[in-house]
Each structure stands twice: as structure tokens, then as C-alpha cells.
């Protein structure tokens, strides 16, 4: 006897146009799902890489002291209990950065760490005055812990290294103040004493909040300018596996008694926004696959009604209920396999094409083309949604066909 797969192929041949339309829906649904997920996650990954490249996986900052409400004596049973912990008392900055960094380096997941002194300052040029965030850095440590070298768009880090009055300025801040490499500016700290600095380089991270409001000087110079000779504001920690940052941040906080924040904690709000956008796009595009599933359901239901006599004959020939059900499930499986395969290929082509589209984005961050992220998870998710949708659409017609009573059908048809 012919196999259920062979009979399924014969049945499909009688409704080629309808099957092709439903197949097209699956293909487009899978392709658009892959493309939209690559786009939304591409912008998310770009933002995450910028965060890791500028602020590190962990930031260790203010020292704290735990404060408790004391010990209470229970009346009658002599049991001792401790009340809930009170809010911590924080002390701004880190005064023993060298010791803290040595302890941090003991962890195997740590690649590098860099001390930073951060405070507000005022920059004065011939054109205007601007308040910004001035950070004092140890250049060698900063290059190891961040992507500063890759962010440079003009100037020379070697020149900055050699000059104690060297200054690195964010691209948008330089544009706002009409600065170029070699220009001299006056910077005034909280103390009110202005000092002259020469622009050694200009950097662009892609994060407009940084590029518009940040500049770098040498750490010792910043400590002198801010009158904090032995203090840093925080320490940037770079990890081999940034996904494990929350666990290490908790250990560092308990060990060092300094507030330690992972990049997941610092950027929780923005990450939730990206996640919501990604899920919203996935739900919206998945409706295409759902609609295609309804089409398959209608096609197979009509096919069951049209093939009632053939199904009865097959049952009388010895085909079991499971074989009849398999005929219609095979039709759905073929549509899912072909649709997913072609859809994945089309999705990859669309993703590549979108990544080549020039677009000027100047808002939350800056980019000159669409950002995409290639991940096999997108393809696996699209295939999973397609198979689930098609299976559900095929199951009920297949179940109905399996329940048909062959004797009643053949008697009704005059056989």
C-alpha cells in the first residue's frame, strides 16, 4: 500500500494554488520575523557594547557602612534576634583605589580595571562656555578596561600621554564648542581656578549622552584641579564574561564594602525598553504566520470534506486511523519545512540588505546605517513558531479525517 506521505503529496497536488498561497504566508512570516529581530536586537547590542566599552561591566564606587538597629531580647524565651537592616551610610568616592584594584584583580573573570575621578567642570572657549563632566583617567589602565582607542576619530593618544595638559573631548562637545585638535581651552573646576588645556584628541562613542558631555584629562591633573589628591570617584572593571557581572558585583560589594553595580543593574531601564520593543515586533510579525496557519486550516478542512469518499476507501483497504491522520499531518509538515527553509534564506537576505541601507540616526545614540545582529536564535525561534502554527492548523482537520466512519460513508455514497 502507498505510504501516507505519498498520498499526502497526491492530495496537495489537487490544491496547488491554495497551498502555495499559504506557503507564501509562512515564508514571509518567517523572513520578516528574522529581519525584525535582527534589527531590534542590533540596536540593543550596539547600546550594550557602548556601555561596556565606556563604563565597563562593573563599576565599583562609594564606600559604605552597614547600619543595624541593634539586638533585641525576646521576653520569656531568651531568644536573640536581629532587626531588619537599616539603609547604608555611604562615603563618596574611593580613597584606597590601589588596594581595591589589587583585590579586584584576584578574580579570574577580571581582565582589567581603571580608576576614574569624575566631577563637573566648566570649559571656556572664544565662542562659548559649557558645563560638562570631566574625568581624570590613568591612560594605560583606561585603554585596557575600555574601548577608548577605538573611539578616537582625530588626534593622537601618544600626544595626550606626553602632555600633562592634554585633553580628550567628545565629538559632540567639540562640535558645540567649535574645537579642533591643537586648540587651547580654559577649564575651571569647583574651586574656581581656571587652567589651560590643549585638545589632543576627539572621540566618538556613538552614545550622544557621552559624546556631548564628557572629556578626559590625566588622573593626577584632575585630582589637582578638583582638590582631591588621593581620591577617585569609581573604578571601571572589564570582565571576560560580562553576563556574569551581577554575581561578581555582589561578591565585590560584600568583600570590599564598596557599592558595586553591574552593567545590567545600571542599564535596567533601557534594557527593558529594548526588550519590550523586540517582543512587540515579534508578536506583530508572528500574526503573519498565524494568518497563514488559518489558511492551512481552511485548506485541509475543505480537503477532508472533498476527500471523504477517498478516505473511506483507504480505511476499507486497511489504513488505520493513525495513517489517515498522518496523511494530513504530513501535508502540514511539508508546508512548514519548505516555508521555514525558504523563509530563513529570505530572512538572511533581507537582514543583509537592511544592514546596507544608509540612515542617519542622531538621538539616543548615533549611527549612519541600520544596525543588525546575526544570531541563530532568531532562526530557531522563527522555525519554532512556524512549526507550532502549522501543526495546530493541521491537527484538527487530521483528527476529523481519522474519525470518519468508512461503512457509513460508503453506504451513503451507494457503494
Per residue, the 3-state secondary structure of the chain, as one string, reads: CCCHHHHHHHHHHCCHHHHHHHHHHHHHHHHHHHHHHHHHHHHHHHHHHHHHHHHCCEEEEEEEECCCCCEEECCCCCCEEECCCCCCEEECCECCHHHHHHHHCCCCCEEEEEEEEEEEEEEECCCCEEEEEEEEECHHHHHHHCCHHHHEEEECHHHHHHCCCEEEEEHHHHHHHCCCCCCEEEEECCCCCEEEEEEEEEECCCEHHHHCCEEEEEHHHHHHHCCCCCCECEEEEEECCHHHHHHHHHHHHHHHCEEEEEHHHHCHHHHHHHHHHHHHHHHHHHHHHHHHHHHHHHHHHHHHHHCHHHHHHHHHCCCCHHHHHHHHHHHHHHHHHHHHHHHHHHHHHHHHHHHCCEEEEECCEEEEECCCCCCHHHHHHHHHHHHHHHHHHHHHHHHHHHCCCHHHHHHHCCC
More confident residue, 414 or 408: 408
The reply to whether 403 and 280 lie within a common domain is: yes
Q: Is residue 263 included in any domain, yes or no?
A: no
The reply to whether 294 and 361 lie within a common domain is: yes
pLDDT for 72 equals 44
Q: How large is the average pLDDT for residues 326-330?
A: 81
The reply to whether 229 and 296 lie within a common domain is: no
Q: Is the pLDDT of residue 170 over 90?
A: yes
pLDDT band at 74 (very low <50, low <70, confident <90, very high): very low
Q: Is the Cβ–Cβ distance between 376 and 359 less than 8 Å?
A: no
More confident residue, 233 or 287: 233
Q: Is residue 348 included in any domain, yes or no?
A: yes
Q: What are the tens digits of pLDDT across the range 255-285?
A: 988 899 999 988 888 888 888 888 888 888 8
Query: What are the backbone angles phi and psi of residue 15, rounded to the nearest 5°?
Result: -135, 55
The reply to whether 208 and 340 lie within a common domain is: no
Q: Is the Cβ–Cβ distance between 413 and 316 less than 8 Å?
A: no
Instruction: Give the closest residue to 204 by CA, choosing from 155, 161, 132.
Output: 155
Residue percentage of the chain with pLDDT more than 70: 83
Query: What interhelical angle do 97-104 and 245-256 show, nearest 10?
Result: 130
Across 1-5, 29-33, 135-139, 371-375, the highest mean pLDDT is recorded for 135-139
Q: Is residue 103 included in any domain, yes or no?
A: no
Q: Is residue 314 included in any domain, yes or no?
A: yes
The reply to whether 168 and 35 lie within a common domain is: no
pLDDT for 135 equals 94
pLDDT for 59 equals 93
How many domains are there within the chain? 2
The reply to whether 207 and 277 lie within a common domain is: no
Query: What are the backbone angles phi and psi of residue 69, rounded to the nearest 5°?
Result: -85, -5
The reply to whether 275 and 367 lie within a common domain is: yes
The reply to whether 280 and 404 lie within a common domain is: yes
pLDDT for 300 equals 74
Q: Is residue 221 included in any domain, yes or no?
A: yes
The reply to whether 225 and 330 lie within a common domain is: no
Q: Is residue 89 included in any domain, yes or no?
A: no
Q: Is the Cβ–Cβ distance between 317 and 1 less than 8 Å?
A: yes
Domain that holds residue 32: 4-52+270-412
The reply to whether 374 and 296 lie within a common domain is: yes
Q: Is the pLDDT of residue 79 over 50?
A: no
Q: Is the pLDDT of residue 83 over 50?
A: no
The reply to whether 218 and 137 lie within a common domain is: yes
pLDDT band at 51 (very low <50, low <70, confident <90, very high): confident
The reply to whether 124 and 18 lie within a common domain is: no
Across 217-221, 223-227, 370-374, the highest mean pLDDT is recorded for 217-221
Q: Is residue 339 included in any domain, yes or no?
A: yes
Cα dihedral across residues 60, 134, 153, 268: positive or negative: positive
Across 76-80, 236-240, 359-363, the highest mean pLDDT is recorded for 236-240
Distance CA(412)–CA(408), nearest Å, equals: 6
How many CB atoms within 10 Å of residue 71?
A: 9
Q: Is residue 42 included in any domain, yes or no?
A: yes
Amino acid at each position: 500500500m502507498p505510504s501516507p506521505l505519498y498520498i499526502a503529496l497526491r492530495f496537495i497536488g489537487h490544491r496547488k494554488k491554495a497551498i502555495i498561497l499559504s506557503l507564501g504566508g509562512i515564508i514571509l512570516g518567517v523572513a520578516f520575523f528574522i529581519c525584525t529581530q535582527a534589527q531590534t536586537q542590533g540596536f540593543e547590542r550596539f547600546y550594550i557594547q557602548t556601555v561596556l566599552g565606556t563604563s565597563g561591566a562593573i563599576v565599583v564606587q562609594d564606600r559604605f557602612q552597614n547600619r543595624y538597629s541593634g539586638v533585641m531580647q525576646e521576653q520569656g524565651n531568651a531568644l536573640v534576634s536581629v532587626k531588619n537592616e537599616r539603609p547604608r551610610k555611604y562615603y563618596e568616592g574611593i580613597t584606597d583605589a590601589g588596594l581595591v584594584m589589587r583585590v579586584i584583580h584576584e578574580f579570574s573573570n577580571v581582565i582589567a580595571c581603571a580608576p576614574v575621578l569624575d566631577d563637573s567642570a566648566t570649559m571656556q572657549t572664544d565662542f562659548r562656555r559649557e558645563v560638562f563632566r570631566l574625568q581624570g583617567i590613568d591612560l594605560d589602565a583606561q585603554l585596557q578596561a575600555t574601548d577608548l582607542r577605538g573611539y578616537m576619530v582625530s588626534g593622537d593618544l601618544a600626544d595626550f600621554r606626553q602632555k600633562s595638559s592634554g585633553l580628550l573631548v567628545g565629538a559632540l562637545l567639540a562640535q558645540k564648542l567649535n574645537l579642533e585638535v591643537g586648540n587651547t581651552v580654559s577649564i575651571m573646576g569647583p574651586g574656581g581656578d581656571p587652567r589651560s588645556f590643549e585638545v589632543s584628541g576627539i572621540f566618538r562613542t556613538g552614545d550622544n549622552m557621552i559624546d556631548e558631555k564628557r572629556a578626559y584629562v590625566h588622573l593626577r591633573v584632575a585630582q589637582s584641579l578638583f582638590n582631591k589628591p588621593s581620591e577617585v570617584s569609581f573604578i571601571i572593571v572589564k570582565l571576560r564574561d560580562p553576563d556574569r557581572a551581577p554575581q561578581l558585583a555582589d561578591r565585590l560589594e560584600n568583600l570590599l564594602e564598596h557599592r558595586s553595580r553591574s552593567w545590567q543593574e545600571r542599564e535596567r531601564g533601557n534594557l527593558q525598553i529594548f526588550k519590550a520593543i523586540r517582543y512587540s515586533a515579534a508578536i506583530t510579525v508572528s500574526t503573519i504566520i498565524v494568518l497563514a496557519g488559518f489558511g492551512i486550516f481552511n485548506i485541509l478542512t475543505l480537503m477532508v470534506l472533498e476527500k471523504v469518499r477517498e478516505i473511506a476507501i483507504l480505511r476499507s483497504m486497511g489504513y488505520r486511523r493513525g495513517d489517515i491522520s498522518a496523511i494530513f499531518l504530513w501535508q502540514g509538515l511539508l508546508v512548514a519545512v519548505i516555508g521555514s527553509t525558504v523563509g530563513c534564506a529570505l530572512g538572511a537576505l533581507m537582514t543583509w540588505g537592511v544592514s546596507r541601507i544608509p540612515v542617519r540616526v542622531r538621538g539616543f545614540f548615533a549611527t549612519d546605517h541600520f544596525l543588525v545582529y546575526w544570531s541563530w536564535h532568531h532562526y530557531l525561534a522563527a522555525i519554532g513558531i512556524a512549526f507550532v502554527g502549522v501543526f495546530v492548523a493541521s491537527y484538527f482537520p487530521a483528527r476529523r479525517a481519522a474519525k470518519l466512519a468508512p461503512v457509513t460513508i460508503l453506504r451513503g455514497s451507494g457503494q
